[in-house]
Structure 1
Amino acid sequence: MHAPLAPTTRLPIGSDTDLARVRRQVRQAAADLGFRLVQQTKLVTAVSELARNTLVHGGGGHMEMTLLRDGTRRGLRLSFVDAGPGIRDVDLAMTDGYTSAGGLGLGLSGARRLVQEFALDSTPGRGTTVTVTDWVSGLPSPRAGAP
């Protein structure tokens, strides 16, 4: 069971200043939970993309951040919520190379690859919620044959 460690924090996403605040808050929470630097960087990269999508494509919204515990594991669940136009074709939007705004086409699919759990819920005309969850990874396993 994913039990919250603290109340959910809600941060607005309505400007570039908000995007910077969201990234900063997520990086700090990840560091406090014990995420290693590379994992923090991957998570903040995904967050940056999802927050920007919330602002640009969803017309703004908010992020909900929940610190989690599942037994001895610790993690973060982040939901990006907007009430924008929604995504008409989710399968197409999740395809590498697809872009609706002239970018590289790695947004949603790239964010999905950077986190451990990814869920997208979108209804045309009602908005989109993308929820990602990442868990603190332990130390890497030693290589076979290493001393």
Structure 2
Amino acid sequence: MATKSIRRVTACVVALALPLAAQAYPGNAASKEASTAAAHAGMAMGAADLKMAHAHLQHVVNCLVGPSGDGYDAQAENPCKGMGQGAIADAKSDAARQSRLQEAAMEARKGVKAATVDEAHASAQKVMSSLQAVQGPAT
């Protein structure tokens, strides 16, 4: 019980802090989208049930791949709407960053299909790690 509470508090702190990090690079769509995706990965990590974890992981996918990307679900919310074409597409000038974003998207798609909340939380953690590695402006 204490572990779940700690996980939720940590996820909430991360979810609140990452959008602030994106503001340091206001002209960079990929950074904004990646930061928003990371916030939703944090929300998925703290989700109490599988349905909510799936929803937030789908938000991650939508932010990373954009409306024309693999796994985009138009029926789900796109919290990155209006920011760009998806973090992966918007990071095209930085191959290393784009590769990390693709890894995060692949893991988020896996999490959307997770059968248990623990599996979804594990995927969300991996997504968060990948996205934290790409914070900052694209070159």
What interval of TM-score do these two structures reach, taking the shorter chain for normalisation?
0.3 to 0.5
TM-score by length of 1: 0.37
Higher strand share: 1
TM-score (norm 2): 0.39
